[in-house]
Amino acid sequence: MTRHFLEVDDLSASELAEVLAASRADNGRLLAGLGVAVVMTLPSTRTRNSTEMAVTDLGGHAVALAGGEVGIDARETAEDVARTLAQYHRAICVRVTDHEVLVRMAKAIDDAGLDVPVVNLLSSMGHPVQALADLLTIADLCPGRVEGLRGARIAWIGDSNNVARSLSLGAVALGMHVTVSSPERYRFGAADLERVASHAQRAGLGGALVQADEPAAAVAGALAVCTDVWASMGQEHERDARMAAFSGFRVDTALLELASPDAVLLHCLPAHRGEEVTAEILDGPRSRVWQQTAHRRTAMRGLLAWLVSRAP
Ligand code: CP
Ligand code: NVA
């Protein structure tokens, strides 16, 4: 059965470790002569560039398609788009607001008996390829690399959003402790907490997610403090309400001082300086955002190599 990558917990903990290891390995030209579709129905700078360059690194050819030209569920159904792209490509990578579209595309591929993974390049539910890069960036801080992440603490400050969800799933799978601090309305719900807890339990490495009311409590002992925009794509109309609700959840110097002495900042970008993070922190010596950005390509290379080298 084809393995898709719609969320981090599509991988077991050991498979996640394999993908991260593959990211750092020489995978040769696994995609030589093969195509990868990169469909973007929302804006993207990092994800499109890192995906296309990862395909190039593996010797393949990426075809980038804007949402308007494909017209998912407008020009034709998501299922027909998936079955069409699968005739030309070894993987189909898609950024789309509605996560269910990805699920439908993956099902159409499975039902047709095709061996073409569908990869989530961000939906309103998750950003799993970002999480892989985040984990590689955090692993760079640990002497034991990925294995060294077990027991490490990270904090997520701000919206419990798509990026937070994927990172949390990945972190607990590697045995990390995640503390999330969001305004009450913007916290993970029971279903998310349950999903992360069961993934942590399956991994069996002692990872856990807890929520903290106060950002100051969340960052205590954290080696990485992570944040993201307060209004994600598609939530722009909620901007004023969100700016008010999140005003006490900015990552600034005073907050970072409460984390581990060597704590670093992670932010998937794009960033809004002065909102979720101060310019002083984002552009300062404790920021790892450019390493994180570079790791998008590293991570995508590992993921694609892992997916295409599996037997169907
Ligand atoms: N972090 C991230 O996914 O950036 P883009 O939206 O620019 O792809
Ligand atoms: N949470 C953000 C991430 C952008 C990369 C969004 O969904 O817009």
Scored b (16 or more CB within 10 A) or e, 223-250 reads bbbbbbbbbbeeeeeeeeebeebbeebb
Q: For residue 105, what pLDDT is reported? A: 98
* CATH number assigned to the domain comprising residue 67: 3.40.50.1370
* Rounded-to-10 torsion of CA 78, 84, 87, 89: -60
**Residues 156 and 268 occupy one common structural domain:** yes
The rounded Å distance from CA 123 to ligand 1 centre is 11
The rounded Å distance from CA 73 to ligand 2 centre is 22
Q: pLDDT tens-digit profile of 195-251?
A: 999 999 999 999 999 999 999 999 999 999 999 999 999 999 999 999 999 999 999
Q: For residue 147, what pLDDT is reported? A: 85
Domain count, the chain: 2
Burial class (CB in 10 A: 0-12, 13-18, 19+), 111: exposed
Q: For residue 310, what pLDDT is reported? A: 85
CB of 130 closer than 6 angstroms to any ligand 1 atom: yes
Domain that holds residue 279: 141-287
**Residues 301 and 222 occupy one common structural domain:** no
Residue 215 within a domain: yes
Q: Give, in degrees to the nearest 5, the angle at Cα 156 between 301 and 22.
A: 15
pLDDT per 10-residue tile (average), the chain, 312 residues: 96 98 96 98 98 98 97 98 98 98 98 98 98 97 86 98 98 98 98 98 98 98 98 97 97 97 97 98 98 98 96 70
CB of 123 closer than 6 angstroms to any ligand 1 atom: no
Ligand nearest 46 Cα, by number? 1
Q: Give, in degrees to the nearest 5, the angle at Cα 133 between 3 and 188.
A: 80
Q: Residue 205 and residue 200: Cα distance in Å, rounded?
A: 7
Q: Residue 168 and residue 178: Cα distance in Å, rounded?
A: 7
Please name which of 188, 183, 171 lies closest in space to residue 223, comparing C-alpha atoms. Answer: 171
Nearest-CA residue for ligand 2 atom 1 is 232
**Residues 61 and 90 occupy one common structural domain:** yes
Q: For residue 159, what pLDDT is reported? A: 98
Pocket of ligand 2 (CB under 6 A): 122, 161-163, 228-229, 232-233, 268
**Residues 280 and 305 occupy one common structural domain:** no
Ligand nearest 45 Cα, by number? 1
Q: Which residues lie closer than 8 Å to 276 by C-beta, 6 or more apart?
A: 157, 158, 227, 228, 229, 230, 246, 249, 250, 251, 267
CB of 233 closer than 6 angstroms to any ligand 1 atom: no
The rounded Å distance from CA 299 to ligand 1 centre is 14
